[in-house]
Amino acid sequence: MSEPEIICERRGAAGLVTLNRPQALNAITHGMVLDLARALDAWEKDPAVTRIVVQGAGGKAFSAGGDIRALYEAGQGGRHGEALAFWRDEYHLNIRIKRYPKPYVSLIDGIVMGGGVGVSLHGSHRVAGDRYRFAMPEVAIGFFPDVGATYALPRLPGATGMYLALTGARVGPDDAGGLGLATHVVPSGAFPQVLGDLAAGGDVDAVLAAACRASEPGPIMRERAVIDACFSAESVPAILARLDEAAANGSDFARATAAEMRTKAPSSLAIAFEQVRRGRDLSFEEAMATEFRIVSRVVHEPDFYEGVRATIIDKDGAPRWSRTSIDEVDPDWVAAHFAALGPAELGVA
C-alpha cells in the first residue's frame, strides 16, 4: 500500500492535516485539494474539533507548490479542461480557508511556494519555523502569482508585494514576521510542543504567543527604502528604469534585482504587475475570480509550457519566451486576461 498524499485525522481538539508527498516536496495534487476540502467541511460541523493544524511531512518543505508537472502534461496533451478543473477546485479551497470559521494554524518549516502558499497564507495563524522559505516564483516559469496572491501581495507593507510578485524573491522567517506573511515566528525545535499543546486544546493564541520569538529585520526589510522607491513606479519598464538608476547610484541590491527581473518571462511580468495593481481594490472572492480569468487564458499560451520545460522537464535553464523584452508586451493583450469568462467564471463553490 502506498502512503496517502494527504493525511487528515483527529488529534485531540485538532483536525490535523499532513501534506504527505515528501519526495515531491509536498506539491499539491488535485486529489489533495479535494481531500482537504472534504475534511474542512466535516470538521466545521464537528464540535470536538476546535482548530485546524496543517503541517508538511519530511522536514524540507511545507509545500513547494502545485503539481506543475501534471498540469504541464495535461496542457501539452490538450486536456486544458482537466488542468482548469484543478485550478477551479484549488481556488475554491483558498476561499474556503480564508473564510473558515475555526482557527486555521499552518506550521511552516521549510519551503512554502505556490500552492503551498494557498493552503497556508489565508488561514488565521501562520507559524514560521527556522527553515521557513516563502516565495511566489511563478514569473520564472511563464505563469503568474496565483492562489490568492492577487489579494495578499498588494496588502503587504509599501511596495514589497509588487517586489515579491515581479522577482520571486525568497523570504526567510524574520522578513516573514516583519511583512506579516507569518503571524508568529517560532523556533523549529518548539514545533512538536506547539502541536501537542494545540491538540490538547490549549488556547490557540496563548500557545503560539508562548512559543513565539521576536523577529529581526531581514534582508528585505533592510532594503525597504529601495524597494518602495522602485516598485511603486507606474509600470514594469518604469520599475526597471528606477532600479537601473538606483544601481548607477551604488545600490548592489537594485543591480541584482534588475538583472534577476530581466530573466523572467516578460508576459508574466506584465500580467503580475497588473494583477497586483488591481488587487488592492478587490475582495478576496473577486481576487480569486480574477485569477481564474487569468489562468483560463494562460493555460492556452506558450510561455507557461516553455517555462516548465526549461525549469522542470529538460532543466536546461534556458527558456525561449514568446517576447524577448517587456517592451514587446501589448497592454491590450494583458487587459484581455482580466476580461470576464461568462458562464465559465469561477463562481461560488
> Can 291 be counted among the known catalytic residues?
no
Identify the bridge partners of residue 320 per DSSP, sorted by sequence position. Answer: none
Catalytic residue selected from 56, 66, 118, 178: 66
In the three-class reduction of DSSP (H, G, I as helix; E, B as strand; rest coil), residue 66 is classed as: strand
Grid cell at residue 197: 499543546
> Can 75 be counted among the known catalytic residues?
no
> Can 175 be counted among the known catalytic residues?
no
Catalytic residue selected from 75, 110, 114, 115: 115
> Can 158 be counted among the known catalytic residues?
no
Cα separations in angstroms, 85 against 59, 112, 201, 251, 292: 30, 23, 37, 45, 10
Grid cell at residue 23: 519526495
Burial 63-99 (b: 16+ CB within 10 A, else e): bbbbbbeebbbbbeeeeeeebbebbbebbbbbbbbbe
Nearest in space to 114 (alpha carbons), one of 69, 82, 154, 75: 69
Catalytic residue selected from 5, 67, 109, 146: 146
Relative to beta strand 61-63, strand 111-113 is parallel
Instruction: Please compute, for residue 303, the number of CA atoms within 13 A of its CA located in the half-sphere on the CB side.
Output: 23
Separation of CA 36 from chain center: 17
Matching residue, cell 516548465 = 308
Grid cell at residue 17: 492535516
State how far the Cα of 290 lies from the Cα of 339, in Å rounded to an integer.
Answer: 8
State how far the Cα of 151 lies from the Cα of 133, in Å rounded to an integer.
Answer: 20
Identify the bridge partners of residue 185 per DSSP, sorted by sequence position. Answer: 128
Q: What are phi and psi of 201, to 5 degrees?
A: 95, 10
Catalytic residue selected from 138, 174, 175, 197: 138
Matching residue, cell 513547494 = 64
Its sign, for the CA torsion 28, 335, 319, 111, is negative
Catalytic residues: 66, 115, 138, 146
